[in-house]
Structure formats: C-alpha cells, structure tokens
C-alpha cells in the first residue's frame, strides 16, 4: 500500500506513473499511549515507497481516450497496430548492414579498391598543401564525410532508425519514461498547485494560504479535492464566498472539513487519484485478445462509469471483494470525505471492507453492540410508499406472487396504524396485524373509531374481508415478517424519527440521507439468518432505487455496493437500475453465479447494467450469458491451404523426390485466403477456460454513452 504515510517536504522526488501523493493526516490530538518497554511503537500507517509531492501530483497531465482509462500520466496509443517487421529480423538486418559497411570501409581504407574515392580530395586541395597541416585537416574532413555517407547509406539499408524507435518504445524503456511524466510549468498562470481559480476571483490571500499549506506538507489529496469542491459550490452560490474565505483563512487545509472531522481514511488498500475521482483496478493484458490501443494501459473506475451500474460474476475466492468491492467502496469513501459522494455498502458480517473508523455509520444487524440499527420504512411518512418498498423486500422473490397486491395489503394496515399512533408499526406489531390477531386488530379499530377516522376504518375492513382468500398475500407476508421477528433482532428496526446525522439510531435510507456525504456500512447476519439477510438486502436496494431518484439535490454521486447480491434482485429493482443513470447514482452487484438470479431476470439484468465483469472461473453457462450480452465483431481470418506440387519434367520430379527423401515432406505451395467473418468477442468457452487466475474480462459504458469493448484485465490484489 504505497499511498499511506505523509508527504515528503525535505526533498523533492520525481513523480511516478500510477502513483498519487501519499495522504497527510492531521497531527494527533495528544500523545499516543506508549507500547510496553522494549518494543518499538506501532506505526500509524503502512510503509510507503517514494511518491510525488502534492504539487507534482497536481501538475501531472491527465488524458483519456476512452472510458476506464487511468488518466494519471496516460499516454494514448495508436488505435491499430502498424505493419511491423519482426524485431529479430530487424536486428539481423541491422547487423548485416553494419558488417557490410565495416567491410567496405576496410577495403577503401586499405586501398584494395584503389584510390578513386580520394579523387575529390586531390581535386579540391592545392599541391602546395602537400605534407602540411591544412592537407592533414582536409584529409580527415574528407574521411569523416565518406564515413558519414557510409553510415547513412548502410543505416537506411539496415533500417537502423526503425530498430532504434522499436527499442525506445520497448516496455522497459516506456516504464522508465513513465516515471517522469511531463508537467505544466511550475509557477505558471495555469499551475494547479497555485490555485489559479481563486486568484482569478480576487482571492489571492486565500490562494497563498492554501499554497503554503501544501508546501509545508499539511495538505493531502483529500484536502485539495474537498476545498476545490467547496469552491465549486461557492461559484454556484456566491453568497457562500465570505464563509468559504473565512474558513480557509482560519483553518487552512482543514477548511470545509467533512462532518466527521476526518481528512483521510485510516488505511488505504488501493491506489486512488482524487483529482480524476478514479481508483486503479488493474492493467489491460498485453495480448491479442484486447484492442491494440488499450493493451498495456491501466484501467480505473470512476463515477462516470459506475453511474451505469456494474455487475460482477465470479466463484468464491475469485477476488470480487478484495479486487473490486473494497477498492470501489474505498474510492467513494474518499470522495465522500471530499464532499463529492455518498456511499452505502451492504456485506456479510466479517467482510474485509475496511475498519469501522472508515465509516460514519456502521449497522450490525443482529449485534447487540451495534450503535445503529435500521429503519425498515426508510424515514418515509407515506403509507403507500412504505408498503410498496416492504412488499418488494418481503415477497418480491416469491414466484407467482403479485407484489402490487402485497403492497395493497400492507398499505391497508400501515395507513390505519399510522393514523392511530402517529408512527408505523414495529416488527412484532406488524406481524400481529398480518396474522389477524383479534386483540391487535380490536385495539387498532377502537383507536380509529374514537378518532373518527372513517376512511382508515374502511381500509381496515377491506383487509379483514380479503384475509383468508385463496390469493390473499397476507399469510406470505406474515411468514416473511416472522423472519425478522426473532430474538436476535430485538431492539432493531426501530420506528423512531429518522436520523441522517450518523450520531444516533436508527439509520434511515431516505432521500435526505443521500444528499449528505455519508459513508455507511450495513453488516448482515448471513450465517445464522440467511433469509432475513436477503429480505433486508432487497429492502435496501428497493429503498436506494426510490430515494436516489427522489433526491432534490443530485449533486452528490450516490452509490450502493453489494458484496453479495444473491437472491436480492426482483423485476422492479432491475427496472429501477436503468433509472439511476439520470439520477447521478449507481449500484455494484456481485454474484457467485447468475443462477442466484431468477432465470427470467438474467437477461434483463445484463441489459440493465452498463458495466459487466466476468472473473476467472465462471461456468460456461454464465459465460454464455456474457457472450450474448457482448455480442459479435468483425475479424479478419487467414485460411492457408497446402497443395502438393506435381512436376511434369523428369529432372524436376527427381529434385522433388530427393527433397522429400531428405525432409520427409512433399513439395507444396501455400494458398492464403483472407476473409472478414463475424465472431463473438468472448465465447462462453473462452470465459470459462481462457481467463487466467487474478484476471477478469470487463466491459464499460459511461453515462454519456461511451463504450469500451470487453477487456482482459490483470487485477491488482489489495490488502
């Protein structure tokens, strides 16, 4: 992990391609507790290699020639591979030309070819120079001219310039050249480290303060991104300019800090570029499988592609959590600290997705020590909306169950209960109402009658009439609610007022929550309560789809990541994924196999997401679905036909017979046929058997509609 540590301020280090400045954290509030005597203190960060300073990181150019390109120091490549002679042939030709040139020079120098090549020297130098210094100088000048002519002539003959360019473009040389990427001029008018946008607005004093903070090593990449984001909000609303200037003047790099007070994550497991909002995922394999222009380039993810949602499929142990989910969640958590995103990750308890201190809210469902719990109703006060989301979670995966009827049944109970008590029912109360417990219904009816709520009484009457019918969803709903009405969940799923501050309980996934730069992790009790965990996962996905689209302020990128989305998707939530693109939001879904999704939803799911990822080890059945989604392309094929040569002349036949006797092969001619054929980009068999361990095939689509064909990517293993 070479992104941890602090910036070096005592010496200047050259930037390295793919590296971003190591984050600088605020100084500790007090002296840390010392270790036992005789033991060295525990380091706060993992050791890091040399990296660029903040100024060098900012000045490094960023360019992109397609979605998913790691823009930091990127040098675009040609779209197509040029016609090229094999390197071995170039080297042999160059050596032959060199030897021929040396032989000719030796023959000329030793007079074996006569003195004709010296005639111009004798013609243009006077006889009076003979034996004198001018004659010697003129002779050596002529020798140099003849030697240069031989070098140029034989160099062109041996294609020395092409060989030199080939060697300079070799991978080791490119790696060395990439360590020192070109930068804008230091101190120039466009130097990003000098905050030209602030100087242009007449805030030179503020720009000087921020420049001094960076020069002293007190500013990290999160600080820069956060303050730049704050300045963008000032430009959108100029009334905030005074508060912005005062905050920077008083706090320097700590201005406009995240509500948690954090200026960095406790630890980083991936490589990030917050200026481009990217996280490095891996390197595109340098093989014929990939387009020439993307071979060897680095691949990254950012909100531009995550906004179309991403589906990743791979067996257990393929690296979905370590090489995909954690880097993406970590990147968005950093962006949340910079005021650019809100991220929620849903995972099994114990998943390695970073320490608790990296999140503002950690909900451990079923853990009595959890500081936060979960609001089943998402903070809404509308009974119909709450009923729709709950119905999706409870029976959205039940074959033949109509979710709309289930939502109606729930609304017929939630509406009257809220009218009577000013809140929605807790899980035990909702279970009793669905089971038609006489005492619960009678008490509710009495309160409604006393309040004169005749409309709500009609809703309650309708629910009682429908109970027990052959198509009544009530019993199924009651059975699903019973999965949450367990002793392990006692005290969870409270129905208090929603809290989006991250300081209390419960946590409500509401539109207001997604308008704040929150970092939330929800741990589900998958081991002991698998069915309840799936209900909660479906509920969170349904709530996220509804809340992301209902936000009044969509300036923050909202993202929901599932470490395991098995049995989570329903027809309604799959349709909702497509609407997230226009809502500045996205979802990450990981599956062990597409068999964990109902068969009727597999094709719609692959069509709803813009980014698809197949890890090493997928089955041919899953590979077939991906192959269909990625379609075909036109490729050029060469068919070589070997035909035996039959000679007519006796001498030729004798020569052919002798050649066959020596080589063991008949004399043949080759007929080459070149055709354009349409083939699958990746076949099901290739995905199942030709993807090496630690690799994945990934296709990307940006929210603007740009597409990247499926690429074989060598993934980076994170800690």
Q: Give the count of beta carbons closer than 10 Å to the beta carbon of residue 276.
A: 18
* Predicted local confidence at residue 660, as pLDDT: 74
Residue 188: per-residue pLDDT? 65
Show which of 145, 168, 191 is a domain's final residue.
168
What single-letter DSSP state applies at residue 556? S
Conformational region of residue 352, where left means phi above 0, alpha means psi within -120 to 50, and beta covers everything else? beta
Q: Angle CA(212)–CA(215)–CA(218) in degrees, nearest 5?
A: 85
Pairing state between β 707-715 and 278-284 = antiparallel
Burial class (CB in 10 A: 0-12, 13-18, 19+), 610: buried
Cα distance between residue 141 and residue 118, in whole Å: 12
What is the dihedral sign for C-alpha 307, 309, 314, 316?
A: positive
CA distance 274 to 338: 9
| Nearest of 403, 316, 396 to residue 598 by alpha carbon | 396
Main-chain phi, psi angles of 268, to 5 degrees = -120, 130
Q: Is 637 helix (H, G, I), strand (E, B) or coil?
A: strand
Secondary structure of 140-193 in HEC code, one letter for each residue: HHHHHHHHHHHHHHHHHHCCHHHHHHHHHCCHHHHHHHHCCCCCCCCCCCCCHH
Rounded to whole angstroms, how far apart are CA atoms 374 and 546?
17
For residue 92, what pLDDT is reported?
85
Number of CB atoms found within 10 A of residue 708's CB: 20
Q: Which residue ranges of the chain lie beneath pLDDT 50?
A: 1-20, 22-49, 497-504
How far is residue 678's CA from residue 609's CA, in Å, rounded to a whole number?
A: 25
The pairing of beta strand 557-562 with beta strand 341-348: parallel
34, 35, 431, 530, 718 from 42: Cα distances, Å: 9, 8, 51, 39, 21
Phi-psi label, residue 36: left if phi above 0, alpha if psi -120 to 50, beta otherwise: beta
Q: Is residue 289 part of a domain?
A: no
Structural domain includes residue 160: yes
Residue 477 in any domain: the answer is: yes
Q: Would residue 34 count as lying in a domain?
A: no
What pLDDT sits at residue 42? 42
DSSP 8-state secondary structure symbol assigned to residue 72: B
Domain-located, residue 665: yes
Phi and psi dihedrals of 58, rounded to 5?
-70, -35
409, 401 contact by CB (below 8 A):
no
| CA 315 to each of CA 318, 328, 347, 628: distance values in angstroms, whole numbers, following the listed order | 6, 19, 16, 20
Q: Is the pTM of this model over 0.75?
A: yes
CA distance 202 to 166: 50
Look at residue 311 and tell me if it is in a domain. Answer: no
Q: State CA 112 to chain mean position distance.
A: 69
Three-state DSSP state, 711: strand
Residues in the chain: 719
Determine, yes or no, domain membership for 151: yes
Q: 428 burial class (0-12, 13-18, 19+ CB within 10 angstroms)?
A: middle
- Give the domain-ending residue among 456, 489, 522: 489
- Residue 517: in which H helix or E strand, if any? none
Q: Residue 268 in contact with residue 330, Cβ under 8 Å?
A: yes
Evaluate the omega torsion of the peptide bond into residue 707 and state whether it is cis, within 30 degrees of 0: no
DSSP, res 459: H
**Which H or E element spans position 103?**
helix 87-109
- 695/243 Cα distance (integer angstroms): 49
Instruction: Please state the φ and ψ torsions of residue 349, each to the nearest 5 degrees.
Output: -60, 130
Give the span between the Cα atoms of 449 and 465, in whole angstroms. 18
**Is residue 134 one of the residues assigned to a domain?**
yes
Rounded-to-integer distance, Cα 194 and Cα 214, Å: 10
Q: Which domain holds residue 153?
A: 87-168
pLDDT tens-digit profile of 686-704? 999 999 999 999 999 999 9
What's the pLDDT score for residue 84?
66
Domain count, the chain: 3
């Amino acid at each position: 992990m070479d992104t941890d540590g602090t910036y070096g301020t005592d010496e200047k280090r050259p930037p390295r391609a793919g590296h971003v400045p190591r984050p600088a954290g605020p100084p500790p509030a007090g002296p840390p507790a010392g270790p036992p005597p005789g033991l060295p203190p525990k380091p706060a960060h993992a050791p890091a290699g040399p990296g660029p300073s903040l100024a060098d990181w900012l000045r490094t150019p960023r360019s992109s020639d397609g979605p998913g390109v790691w823009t930091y120091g990127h040098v675009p490549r040609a779209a197509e591979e040029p016609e090229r002679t094999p390197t071995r042939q170039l080297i042999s030709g160059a050596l032959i030309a060199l030897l021929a040139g040396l032989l000719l020079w030796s023959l000329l120098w030793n007079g074996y070819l006569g003195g004709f090549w010296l005639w111009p020297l004798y013609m243009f130098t006077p006889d009076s120079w003979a034996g004198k210094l001018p004659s010697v100088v003129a002779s050596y000048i002529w020798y140099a001219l003849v030697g240069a002519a031989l070098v140029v002539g034989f160099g062109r003959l041996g294609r020395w310039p092409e060989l030199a360019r080939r060697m300079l473009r070799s991978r080791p040389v490119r790696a060395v050249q990439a360590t020192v990427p070109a930068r804008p001029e230091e101190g120039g008018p466009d130097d990003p480290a000098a905050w030209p946008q602030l100087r242009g607005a007449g805030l030179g004093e503020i720009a000087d303060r921020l420049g001094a903070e960076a020069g002293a090593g007190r500013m990290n990449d999160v600080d820069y991104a956060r303050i730049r984001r704050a300045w963008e909000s000032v430009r959108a609303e100029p009334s905030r300019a005074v508060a912005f200037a005062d905050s920077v003047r008083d706090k320097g790099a700590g201005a406009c800090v995240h509500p948690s007070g954090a200026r960095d994550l406790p630890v980083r497991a991936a490589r990030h570029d917050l200026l481009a909002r990217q996280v490095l995922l891996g390197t595109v394999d340098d093989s014929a499988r990939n387009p020439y222009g993307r071979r060897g380039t680095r691949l990254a993810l950012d909100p531009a592609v995550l906004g179309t949602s991403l589906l990743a499929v791979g067996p257990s142990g393929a690296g979905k959590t370590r090489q995909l989910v954690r880097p993406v969640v970590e990147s968005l958590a950093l962006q949340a600290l910079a005021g650019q995103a809100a991220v929620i990750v849903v995972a099994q308890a114990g998943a390695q997705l970073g320490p608790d201190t990296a999140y503002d809210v950690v909900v451990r469902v079923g853990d009595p020590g959890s500081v936060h719990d979960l609001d089943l109703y998402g903070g809404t006060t509308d009974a119909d909306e709450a009923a729709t989301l709950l119905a999706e979670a409870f029976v959205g995966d039940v074959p033949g169950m109509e979710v709309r009827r289930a939502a109606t049944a729930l609304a017929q109970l939630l509406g009257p209960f809220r009218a009577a008590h000013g809140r929605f029912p807790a899980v035990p109360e909702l279970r009793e109402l669905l089971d038609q417990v006489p005492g619960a219904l009678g008490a509710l009816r009495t309160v409604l009658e006393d309040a004169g709520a005749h409309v709500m009484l009609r809703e309650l009457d309708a629910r009682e009439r429908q109970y027990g019918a052959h198509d009544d969803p009530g019993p199924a709903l009651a059975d699903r609610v019973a999965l949450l009405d367990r002793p392990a969940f006692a005290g969870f799923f409270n129905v208090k007022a929603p809290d989006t501050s991250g300081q209390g309980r419960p946590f409500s996934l509401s539109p207001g929550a997604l308008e704040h730069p929150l970092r939330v992790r929800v741990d589900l009790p998958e081991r002991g309560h698998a069915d309840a965990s799936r209900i909660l996962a479906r509920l969170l996905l349904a709530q996220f789809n509804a809340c992301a689209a209902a936000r009044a302020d969509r300036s923050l990128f909202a993202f929901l990541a599932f470490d395991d989305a098995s049995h989570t998707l329903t027809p309604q939530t799959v349709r909702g994924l497509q609407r997230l693109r226009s809502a500045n939001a996205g979802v990450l879904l990981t599956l062990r196999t597409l068999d964990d999704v109902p068969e009727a939803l597999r094709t719609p799911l692959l069509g709803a997401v813009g980014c698809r990822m197949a890890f090493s080890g997928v089955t041919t059945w899953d590979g077939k679905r991906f192959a269909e989604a990625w379609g075909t392309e036109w490729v050029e094929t060469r068919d070589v036909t070997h035909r035996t040569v039959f000679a007519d002349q006796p001498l030729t036949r004798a020569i052919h017979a002798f050649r066959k006797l020596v080589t063991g092969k008949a004399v043949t001619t080759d007929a080459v046929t070149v055709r354009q054929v349409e083939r699958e980009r990746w076949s099901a068999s290739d995905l199942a058997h030709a993807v090496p361990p630690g690799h994945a095939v990934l296709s990307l689509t940006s929210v603007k509609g740009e597409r990247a064909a499926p690429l074989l990517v060598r993934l980076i293993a994170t800690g």
